[in-house]
Amino acid sequence: MPYLVLDLEMTGPEPDYNEIIQIGAEIYDDKWKFMGEFISNVYPENEDAFSSHSEEIHGISIDELEDAPMIYEVLADFEKWIRKCLFYREQDSLKGVVICGQSIINDINFLSFAYKKEKLAWPFSFRMLELHSVSQYAFMILENNGKKIPRSLSLENVASYFGFSRDGDTHNALEDARLTAKCFIALNDLAKNVILK
């Protein structure tokens, strides 16, 4: 059961109006051994949906996307990359891949909407691992055993708890996928090693 740690940058919050402009991902085997990473910008067809608020978050301007590939090209490359990392053949199903991330349902909604819009079959199952939920339960257990925990469960706070941080102020999709993966690995190690009173 490989883990695909995914992060997307979008032109705004609505999957039926806004679009993906960057896909970043890391992939791990079932023991959280690193298998590869992926990053691609995506050209948005609906330039009118490009919001200044979103640009402040991800720092990607519409001009920077001028030469980016279209979403159908990126999705094909993305699937090819996953299969290559996992040593899958072209016909092998991706249904066993677990999609992981922070608030991952939002990214899955955008990604599945992009597949639907391009009339492509959704290659994954809807198995997911949600960092926010996993963190909530892990930190609840720690707090009930007298341990200090973060005040909120944002990616920044969870990462900071384990000693990780972003390199910059903007949200590059690959950097956020990498940071999220580090948190999952740290939580996995915590689950193996924690000794409760």
pLDDT digits (tens, 9 = 90+) for 140-182: 999 998 999 999 999 999 999 999 998 877 679 999 999 999 9
CATH of domain 3-130: 3.30.420.10
CA atoms within 13 A on the CB side of 39: 8
- Triad 110, 113, 116: Cα angle to 5°: 155
Asked if residues 140 and 29 have their Cβ atoms less than 8 Å apart, the reply is no
Q: Please give the model's pTM, rounded to 2 decimal places.
A: 0.93
- Give me the pLDDT at residue 170, please: 65
- pLDDT bucket at 117, cuts 50 / 70 / 90: very high
**In the chain, domain spans:** 3-130, 132-193
Provide the token pair at 101: 């991330």
- Pairwise CA distance, residues 2 & 162, whole Å: 23
Q: Distances in Å between the alpha carbon of 72 and those of 5, 79, 85?
A: 20, 11, 20
Tell me which amino acid residue 160 is: S
